[in-house]
Structure 1
């Protein structure tokens, strides 16, 4: 990255952080005026990184009174793989995790890509508003291509940012909770909205990024916690499975436990995980363990995680025993999202002068 590019990126991030702080104040004053879009690809079980990184924030916004849409992005599973394996299983698991953690279907709309055809119809006119060069230089797309497991990159990979724009704009979301790595995607969404409005008349808002303040949790191997790396602790894991995964986590040779993310990333990530589950300061957790070493640290983390997740795991088992209810939640969410998407598509058609 050049110095000029790095400077521009830092400036963009600083501006996004300032705007996020403003938005948090506005949410506190009047949460009901905000519509929020967030989502996940059903490519595997959700894990603790998802929970502390995004899920808790969705539930916070729901409970504050914002109107929340949660997308199960089943079509986007195909962006970086040849087939969508175990899609039904992962979709159900994703929904079960959300319900167990507190998603309220009366206040939050959860839905599938594939069940909302009007949303996907927006992709075509949106593609006409961006250039191939703009798609090719999107940093997230470039990174996904570099780590793709496909023999060749599909066209869907290049159009992924535009599909994401349709995800956001179909419901005219005002807020999109993201990490800093997703800012380029949201900026392209804002570009699509702006260009559509300039060409055809005002239809779409330009959504704001609500930056996550969640710290990064490392996986059991010391790398970023990820479904694809097999280094995650699933939310649905049993207490024994959680203990086994944490026992195998990477630490270091120093016995005295401290919280120093730069010098001791593996140890510090475990300390942080315990602190998040216990709602305590990580420095205090580390000081309490002190000379207990890695074994004491891992016992502390295991107890903290299992204690924190026990109520949600019990609720998950109850929901899993009632698959008809789970299917009804998704069906109702799909119907609600489809109605919203149809209204937006009608506005788009009217603005563009097309006929149905």
Structure 2
């Protein structure tokens, strides 16, 4: 299979279901790598899309690494503004939702030199043509705000391979759109093992744990995004949440129904309330009935503020002690760096470069 091909979606979904069963039986067999770029506050789309799943895997006993990809901020912008603040805010968000630094490792790209050094031998295993055909890279380039494409953006999938393989992660939670990136990682691992492994694989072939999270739209009816200002941040207070929800796009039909294909904006709000209340969205829609958009927005506001209240309280408590936040990140960086150095030693030995 080439780096631009990914398994059929149905096959990936079937394998994800198998993996879920295996994780529950033997969570200690798995090591997960996941993470985010520090470009702004994490929001409800992130939470229900990926963040709560990280806590779930951690609590099941899966060893979890959370990468704050500070170097990757530069893939689609010239400078990384307010980087220190954004990094600390991401740490706060993860602590608030339940990531436990005693069980999970939170770290940054820039603090782990050995991870980034893996990029050099890994780039020798992938051709320029293969990178150019990667559909995710092509999409990112098409939507880039830069006048020209940087080498960092073009080689992003290989850098991501270094992210995953530095700790020899064998499980990566992804959405379907990230499968081509993961296939690059699998290709790099497979080619390195074939070229240098001498019968003993250096790297595992990481598998995709596909997200089943439903899509939440932003308040303007488009994709929820940090940069578009259309999302409720986890750190938002109750009043800001109410203001953002009041401004959310709906439609002219008074009766509230859950029909994502026909009424995407209304259905996304219904779904958000349902997720926060742990109910079926059709039940929520039925309960609102003929209340119209105003009743729907009140329901969503109350549901979100109730759900986020303990998360916000934990976040505020952690935010009072920034030294603790920095200490947690420093400890995570040190652990990730030690693991990366060990992996780099394995790579050097396999390549005959351990002089």
TM-score range, shorter chain: over 0.9
Query: Where does 1:331-350 land on structure 2 (aligned, <5 Å)?
Result: 331-350=330-349
Partner SS for 1:109: strand
Partner SS for 2:105: strand
Partner SS for 1:313: helix
Residue ranges of structure 2 left out of the alignment (5+ in a row): none
Structure 2 CA distance for partners of 1:189 and 1:11, relative to 1, 3 Å: closer
Asked if the contact 2:5–2:180 (Cα under 8 Å) also holds between the matched residues in 1, the reply is no
Distance 2:5 2:283 in 1: 34
Question: Which residue number corresponds to residue 207 of structure 2?
Answer: 208
The superposition leaves residues 268-320 of structure 1 with CA deviations (integer Å, 9 ceiling, x where unpaired) of 00000000000000000000000000000000000000000001101111100
Which of 183, 190, 215 is 1:187 aligned to? 183
In the alignment, does 2:31 pair up with 1:35?
A: yes
Report how far residue 355 of structure 1 moved: 3.4
The superposition leaves residues 215-246 of structure 1 with CA deviations (integer Å, 9 ceiling, x where unpaired) of 00000010110112221111100100000000
In the alignment, does 2:300 pair up with 1:304?
A: no
Question: Which residue number corresponds to residue 226 of structure 2?
Answer: 227
Question: Which residue number corresponds to residue 3 of structure 1?
Answer: none
What is the aligned length?
Answer: 349
Question: Which residue number corresponds to residue 84 of structure 2?
Answer: 88
TM-score (norm 1): 0.97
Which of 99, 105, 116 is 2:101 aligned to? 105
Report how far residue 9 of structure 1 moved: 7.4
Asked if the contact 2:348–2:354 (Cα under 8 Å) also holds between the matched residues in 1, the reply is yes
Question: Which residue number corresponds to residue 290 of structure 2?
Answer: 291
Distance 1:345 1:11 in 2: 29
Partner SS for 2:155: helix
Partner SS for 1:68: strand
Which of 121, 125, 133 is 2:121 aligned to? 125
Structure 2 CA distance for partners of 1:10 and 1:203, relative to 1, 3 Å: closer
In the alignment, does 2:275 pair up with 1:276?
A: yes
TM-score (norm 2): 0.97
Which of 167, 170, 173 is 1:171 aligned to? 167
Moved over 4 A (4+): 8-11
Report how far residue 11 of structure 1 moved: 6.0
Residue ranges of structure 1 left out of the alignment (5+ in a row): 1-7
Distance 2:124 2:7 in 1: 29
Distance 1:271 1:165 in 2: 37
Structure 2 CA distance for partners of 1:11 and 1:37, relative to 1, 3 Å: closer
Distance 1:140 1:81 in 2: 17
